[in-house]
Each structure stands twice: as C-alpha cells, then as structure tokens.
Amino acid sequence: MVGEPPGTALVTGAAGGIGSAVVRLLVERGFAVAALDVDGDGVADLAARLAARGHRVRGYAVDVADADAVEAAVAAAESDLGALAAAVNVAGVLRWGPVTAFSDRQWREVFDVNTLGVFHVCRAAARAMVPRQSGSIVTVGSDAGAVPRAAMAAYAASKAAAAHFTLSLGLELAPHGIRCNVVSPGATDTAMQRALWDREPAPATQPAESAEPAAPAPGARAEPATAPGADPRAFRVAVPLGRIAQPDDVAESVAFLISPAARHITLHDLRVDGGASLGA
C-alpha cells in the first residue's frame, strides 16, 4: 500500500454476513479494524483468522445497546490499534409481524440495537474524532427505511430513525471535518436472509431470529408482506438489476464512503438495492 495507512476503523455487527464482509475489505485496504459483535466467539474467530493472514484486527464482545460497553470498546480500540479514523454501524436485528400483534418487548429489542445502538456508537466515535478534526461515520441502514413494509413496521421505523439521526449528526460534525453517511441496502444474500426465505411464517407474536440489518424480508412489490418466507428467485423480479445484493456489494459502498475518494460526500444516503426502491 502506498502512503500512510488509513488508520483504525471500528465495525459493529462484525460477525454477521455484511459486517464480516466490511471487516475483510477494510483490512485488505490497509485499515486496522476493531471488530465488535454481541457474538463474542464469532468475532474472536473472525479476528483470529484475519490476524493469521497478517492483518491488524481485534475482536471485542460488545452489545451496542449498552452505552458503557460501547464507550469502553472505543477506548480499547484506540489503545490497542490507534486513533479512530472511521466507524461503521452494521449491527442490527429484525423482528417481524403485524403491529396489532407486536409486543412492547419486540419493539424495544429492535430499537435498542438498530437505533439506540447507532446513537451509542456514533456518540462515542464522535467524541474521539472531534479533537482530531477528522473522521468518517457510516451507518448501514436499509431501503426499508424509505419504502414502507407491512409486517416490518418496527424494523422500517428503526432504520429510518437511524438514517435520519446519522445525517443530522453529519450537520453537527461537518465543521470538525467529520463526514457522516448512510448505506441503505435492499435484500442481501446472507445466511440469515436465506433462513428467512426457507422458513415457514412464524406466529406474529414470536420474534424472528436476528438478521443482518440490510437484509429485510422481500419487498412489498414481490411477495405478500405478512410473511418473510419466499423463494429468492421470485423476489428477484422486484429488483430492476435482476439480482439481490451480495455482502461484498455493501462492503464496497462502505469502503468508498470512508475513503479519501469520497472526501466531499457527507449527509448522503446511498441505496444499494439494485433499484428495488425505485429511487425513493
């Protein structure tokens, strides 16, 4: 790599399909990476495999809904790896079902991770970046934050809130040379997305398993929105480009937005959905 290393990047949700793709790409681009995930074993395994290849990666078991744990992780990452140059919010969960059957607990689970977690990470990262007057923050959201989804009201609302928060934060941090952007994928080919395709619809009062934040159930134009189970071949007809995203498609978008090539881009929401949201 030519020139100075790009610095340290912190990535949440790092043990998942999209998060791990982001971590792998960033270490290949020369970043030292602090990989955070509530799955401590998963993130430790990822970090060990990448470290064995000569990359600088540390895994941290962190629940982003825990503000103190996030602050401690940012401090540890800077101590272990160096000054934070970028923070990428990938951690997220999906709970689905009609609003009339949705529980308070399910709603809190979604917002605790997808929205409150983003606030915790962004606040901690900004506190580290402001004194240095530089940095980049990217939140991986979802096109569901802009296109309504029946049976996904909590997920869609949480992603819309996280995206608007990130862009509003960008206004505050722009005078300090810190850029804040959003990447909003559509359905993405992760193991969790495929599990949603393969499973039978669960009772509306039961939470679905945690999902990649950018891998929501099929869009409203493809399948009945009350059930996430669907054949992916059927869903592709709703995507103008004729395929769903791969995790690397999302990772490349994140890597671009935190790179010097995007130095004049902030307050932007980049859709990575093959045109499924029709520019909404």
Question: Tokens 């991986």 identify what position?
Answer: 140
CA–CA dist 77, 33 (Å, integer): 8
Helix (H) or strand (E) holding 270: strand 269-272
CB neighbour list of residue 183: distance below 8 Å, 6 or more residues apart: 138, 139, 140, 141, 214, 250, 253, 254, 257, 269, 270, 272
CA–CA dist 127, 71 (Å, integer): 10
β-strands 32-37, 178-185 pairing? unpaired
CA-CA distances (angstroms) from residue 259 to 10, 31, 79, 214? 14, 11, 23, 21
SS3 79: helix
β-strands 178-185, 84-89 pairing? unpaired
Cα atoms found within 13 Å of the Cα of residue 119, Cβ hemisphere only? 12
- Clarify whether 60 is annotated catalytic: no
Identified catalytic residue from 155, 192, 239, 257: 155
| Residue 160 CB coordination number (10 Å) | 19
Please give the positions annotated as active site.
Answer: 155
